[in-house]
Amino acid sequence: MTAKFLVVATIGLLAALVNVLSVGATMHFGGLTKVFASGEMPVKFPASTLPIIVFSMIPFAMLSSAILVAVCSFARSYKEAQTYVTPVIILALVPAIAATLPSIQLKGSCWSSPWETWCCSLASCSSRLHPVPGVDRPALDHAVCGGGGRRSARLFGQEAVLFADAGSYRTLVQRRLMPPSPAPSVTQAVVLVALLFRPHSISAPCLPTFLIGNLVRGLSWLAVIQFGGLFLLLPLAVAIFFKIDLVSTFRLRLPPLRSWPAAVLIGASSWIIASEFFALQARIVPPSEAIQELNRVLSAGAEKAPLWTIVLLLAVVPAISEEFLFRGFLLSGLGRSVGKWTAIIGAGLVFGVFHFVADKIPVTALMGVLLGYICWKSRSLWPGILAHILHNSALMLLPSLPRVVEWLGLSSVTRVVEWLGLISLESDPEQFVPIRLVALAAAMLLTGLVILASLNDRDSRAAGRLPG
């Protein structure tokens, strides 16, 4: 079945290559550029873009082949297979034709089409290409292609498809044909995260505008829809539907006792290292307009909102939901097929890319790797959630440090706060952290990592997470 899939993909690539060469030769040697050219608007043949178009056809051909093989597996005759293929071809032609229309602008929702790699190639010579601000997404498109291929290969392994005389599309969603699994497969994990990337990428540039006016209301909607709905409830629903063990996948059992102080030490110190990196980065490269606008909106709204609301909506809710998605569903899926560090680093990089703003991606990715290590060593999601909440809370409360001290009734520690240099950071969060504070944070972070490294399988079994 894998050979069948590769044959379909190879034929598709060969057809695309011959088509592109034919069109290129016709345009170059047929004199069509001279026919269409005029004095005011000359037409040039973009020969240098032909290899780019051919190269971008590879993931498109792989994805299309996976879909075609999966769809045709339900057909009982050649004629029925042709009937099933027709809607797929029409679906692929629509964005291709749309990319060539003068009135179509490839931006916003149009840019998030599943065939965007192909449409991008067709519009590569046009000035009408306006991607959504943020990180380009070809890697996630390729991940979806690979997921489609793996899904079609597994589909052929089902007896209901191979031997039943009345296979149908319901075979894909019949739970009785799904065997129970302790964790999601790599395909399920990657495809779910890739699909969540689409709405997240479209809504991210609109976030500052959405929060202007009433910060608490905007953050509440964001917490309910994006974090609670997409990042938390959707992975849980997918796991339940595919008979995936929730306790094992999301690591819901209690961790060893030693992992709790490790999480506290890491969460209470990592934000200092992150602040130092942001300050250094701001000196080298000024912050982008996107992050400056977002900081202005958050600062203006945070002055009027209660502190507990800001902590709940910007620290607690995102930490819980992101841990369930990235360190729960994604890390468990990657951990089934790849090694420890490959899974941890891969989930951390995806976690960083999801934050879009280029200024924050490196630090966020490193934080994702650190949280993944906490989750992997403790065999539980809860220590990572605690460290994540402490990290986010510190970054959120730093600009309002005097209000925090007054709110907690800790006026007696003001001198300690001043000695550490936190008051100066409150007035200018982008300045360098005092060396005494960096040294203290580094010692705390190192101590937490040493405690985590001391955990072994014996501690895991004693905590009731691993089978004896």
Residue 115 pLDDT exceeds 80: no
How far apart are the C-alpha atoms of 210 and 221, rounded to whole Å? 10
Per-residue pLDDT, 160: 54
Q: How far is CA 146 from the centre of its chain?
A: 16
Q: How confident is the model at residue 456 (pLDDT cuts 50, 70, 90)?
A: confident
Residue 320 in this model has a pLDDT that exceeds 90? yes
Average pLDDT over residues 103-118: 52
**Helices (DSSP H) in 105-249: which residue ranges?**
116-122, 138-155, 159-162, 186-203, 207-211, 215-222, 234-241, 246-249
pLDDT > 70 fraction of the chain, expressed in percent and rounded: 63
Q: What is the mean pLDDT of the chain?
A: 75
Over residues 50-64, the pLDDT tens digits come to 787 778 778 778 878
Report the DSSP beta bridge partners of residue 403: none
pLDDT at position 166? 46
Average pLDDT over residues 270-299: 76
In the prediction, which pLDDT does 388 show?
95
Share of the chain above pLDDT 90, in %: 26
Confidence at 276, pLDDT banded by 50, 70, 90:
confident
List the domain boundaries for the chain. 2-177, 210-462
pTM above 0.85, yes or no: no
Of the CA atoms within 13 Å of residue 429, those in its CB half-sphere come to: 18
Instruction: Place 44 in a pLDDT band, splitting at 50, 70 and 90.
Output: low
What local confidence, expressed as pLDDT, does residue 345 receive? 94
- Name the most confidently modeled range: 55-64, 68-77, 231-240, 426-435: 231-240
Whole-number pLDDT of residue 42: 61
Which residues are CB-neighbours of 452 under 8 A, at least 6 positions away? 259, 262, 373, 374, 377, 378
pLDDT score, position 437: 80
Higher pLDDT, 2 or 180: 180
Rounded Cα gap, residues 438 and 201, in angstroms: 34
Residue 27 has what pLDDT? 74
- Whether residue 422 has pLDDT greater than 90: no
Place of tokens 């399988």: 457
Most confident region among 99-108, 119-128, 145-154, 435-444 by mean pLDDT: 435-444
Closest CA to 345 of 354, 355, 335: 335
The SS3 of residue 106 is: strand
Residue scoring higher pLDDT (330 or 102): 330
pLDDT digits (tens, 9 = 90+) for 362-385: 889 999 999 999 999 999 999 999
The pLDDT of 221-234, averaged and rounded, is 90
State the pLDDT confidence band at 419, using cuts at 50, 70 and 90. very low
Residue 314 contacts by C-beta under 8 Å, 6 or more apart in sequence? 219, 298, 392, 396
pLDDT of residue 120: 52
CA atoms within 13 A on the CB side of 113: 20
The CA distance from 278 to 358, in Å, is 12
| Phi, psi (degrees; rounded to nearest 5) at 349 | -65, -40
- For Cα atoms 266, 268, 271, give the angle at the middle one, nearest 5 degrees: 90
